[in-house]
Copies of this chain bind each other. A is one copy, B any other.
């Protein structure tokens, strides 16, 4: 048994400072849980002159390459593709186990890292890469390893959930809610990665890979952000018993030609108010899973922030450190199922289509005829007066239809003389 394990930390931002703090404050507990002390031997940073509260300046170094070469466990919380990618590969080459929170890197180039770790016989753990503090990577790749996952629906971006929650509860418009999120530190000065769904797409790719034992990269993820949503959309959703959430969705599906495969997508969706995901408020995250034997599961908690993310990182550090003490390794990449990623157009969901139409007899018949022609079945129609007396509002809820069929339908409806505007087209999920 080693008399101690050397931990190298790459990055000392919001998460890194909390990892350093917890490694120090909980040193005795961690030593008892691992079976040997964990010693933080250095922290690689870009700029030594930045003040970092509670971090011993003697630990800081700008020579990340030298640091990883001498460590037993390397913790990467820098973010971005390079230098993390090169440093992780170097750490693995030197025989270190790696813990990373880097969703972007894993979603872009995970298989390279998994293969390197496997070849070197070391662990690569990444619980913190998806949904922050929420244990979701370990449950999906270990607890559900004896089950068949059908679908994953996740609220995995706290920024957009906060924004949508504020729009729903106080009627803010998108810009106001984003500004408020920025003021509170939930959103970056440039909120693109969050509001356009890039962050959620990376997490969707990772979850899909684990759930379906298939390689899924961020390029396989169909992505749509929340920027086209209006306060009016959110209010209408509430009026029909729904809330709008930005969902990361990964599901087993069948293509047009009968091919069994999977689909992975990120988009805003109407979620019924009595669905467990509908109650996920503020910046919280949650992942809802449907598995054949387990049925419905949900995992809920803080998806971001220094201390919550550090909790997930430290859990991984204890796991990989135990393996170094007691022998053995954690699960490796499982991609044996190798399911095809089906095209976006094959996705089948229910839709809510909102129209502004001429307020005259026969309009509904014309619209319904177009839906019928395209094989899209109507579940419900609701007509309400608009402020302008010559205009009526029409809300159509469809049964499950393919994205392709729906797109054709909407185009044809928009071309009708009696239709003034297609106000919104939103998917309904979790019903």
Q: Which residue of B lies closest to A33 (CB)?
A: B145
A117 to chain B, nearest CB (A): 13
Q: Judging by beta carbons under 8 Å apart, are B145 and A318 in contact?
A: yes
Q: Judging by beta carbons under 8 Å apart, are A295 and B133 in contact?
A: yes
Q: Flag whether A148 is at the interface (Cβ < 8 A).
A: yes
Q: Judging by beta carbons under 8 Å apart, are B334 and A146 in contact?
A: no
Q: Which residue of B lies closest to A310 (CB)?
A: B293
Q: Judging by beta carbons under 8 Å apart, are B142 and A138 in contact?
A: yes
In the complex the two chains form, what is the Cα distance from A301 to B318 in whole Å?
27
In the complex the two chains form, what is the Cα distance from A225 to B305 in whole Å?
39
Q: Which residue of B lies closest to A28 (CB)?
A: B336
A145 to chain B, nearest CB (A): 4
In the complex the two chains form, what is the Cα distance from A331 to B323 in whole Å?
10
Q: Flag whether A79 is at the interface (Cβ < 8 A).
A: no
Q: How large is the interface on A (under 10, 10 to 19, 20 to 34, 35 or more residues)?
A: 35 or more
Q: Which residue of B lies closest to A305 (CB)?
A: B295
0/1 per residue, A272-284, Cβ < 8 Å to B? 0000100100000
Beta-carbon contacts under 8 Å, A49-92 to B: none
Q: Judging by beta carbons under 8 Å apart, are A312 and B143 in contact?
A: yes
Q: Flag whether A326 is at the interface (Cβ < 8 A).
A: yes
In the complex the two chains form, what is the Cα distance from A322 to B293 in whole Å?
21
Contacts of A305 in B (CB 8 A): 295
Q: Which residue of B lies closest to A306 (CB)?
A: B293
Known: A33-B213, A276-B300. A146 touches B294 (CB 8 A): no
Copies of this chain in the oligomer: 2
Contacts of A279 in B (CB 8 A): 276, 279
Q: Which residue of B lies closest to A127 (CB)?
A: B143
Q: Flag whether A311 is at the interface (Cβ < 8 A).
A: yes
A50 to chain B, nearest CB (A): 23
Give the contacting residue for A143; candidates B138, B322, B337; CB below 8 A: B138
Give the contacting residue for A294; candidates B133, B276, B295; CB below 8 A: B133
Q: Judging by beta carbons under 8 Å apart, are B328 and A311 in contact?
A: no
Beta-carbon contacts under 8 Å, A179-211 to B: none
Give the contacting residue for A33; candidates B26, B292, B323, B334; CB below 8 A: B334
In the complex the two chains form, what is the Cα distance from A32 to B334 in whole Å?
8
Q: Judging by beta carbons under 8 Å apart, are A297 and B295 in contact?
A: no
0/1 per residue, A7-44, Cβ < 8 Å to B? 00000000000100010001001101100000000000
A and B contact pairs by CB, cutoff 8 A, 26 listed: A22-B147, A29-B337, A32-B334, A33-B145, A33-B146, A33-B213, A127-B143, A134-B297, A135-B142, A138-B138, A138-B139, A144-B311, A145-B315, A146-B317, A147-B314, A292-B307, A293-B310, A293-B311, A296-B301, A297-B302, A300-B300, A322-B331, A323-B328, A326-B329, A327-B329, A328-B329
